[in-house]
Amino acid sequence: MKVTIIHSNGRKENTWEITQMFRYQLSKYQKIEFKEHDLSSEFPYFCTGCHNCFLHGEQTCPHFQKLQPILEDFLSADGVILDSPVYCMDVSGQMKSFLDHLGYMWIAHRPRIANFFAVGMAISTASNGGCSYTNKTMERSFEYLGFRRWYHLGVLKSEIEEEKTRKRVVKAAKKFYQTMLNKDEIHPHLYQQLFFQIMKKKILSADQLSLDRQYWDSKGWLEGMKPWKYE
């Protein structure tokens, strides 16, 4: 089993502490291969809005070479953990930019089959509030990337050392782990299935030379196959 952790900054303070607590609880269940990436040092790049990933392929993104090592661990993981402190009631700039770089992999474009068999966890911490907004941003990406299930954990700075927080982390880690074990038996959310069908109609009417149309054709999705089913 493999879990990839993507930190939005390298400060190793509150958010990092909660994520490490979560990781420790996961490691109690079985030997897990963890891969960790720090966006502040490995991927401090903003999406330029050039549309190259949509129109010409992700390899033409000006930041592709730096993004690729992170994506390899992202796409090969059974579970992905995204963590971010709350900045102005939302994720940090590093996390938002990273998620922007994944837009071409959304269900509306060229979703990766691996994501349909992965489980996501959004972790955030805040001094006073905003965890729900921050986690929702990361969870929205999990949803539209096709993740089978996703969860969240938000903790206030003043509660990090409290016993109730430890219990919340233990509970969240257990749910995350059990879902990874049983993910192949869980159906995707109904909204994801409906959105896939809506996009299928749109892709069918797209230019046959477009990357999205060619991608869907190559996967057999326009002929009735589904990315969340083993064929």
CATH value of 2-187 in 3.30.560.10, 3.40.50.1000, 3.40.50.2300, 3.40.50.360 = 3.40.50.360
Contacts of 28 (CB under 8 A, 6+ apart): none
Q: Residue type for 52, please?
A: N
pLDDT digit string, tens, across residues 39-52: 999 999 999 999 99
What are φ and ψ of residue 32, in 5° steps? Answer: -115, 135
pLDDT digit string, tens, across residues 195-208: 999 999 999 998 98
Residue 71 to residues 16, 80, 197, 205, Cα–Cα distance (Å): 21, 11, 26, 30
pLDDT digit string, tens, across residues 97-152: 999 999 999 999 999 999 999 999 999 999 999 999 999 999 999 999 999 999 99
Q: Residue type for 153, please?
A: L
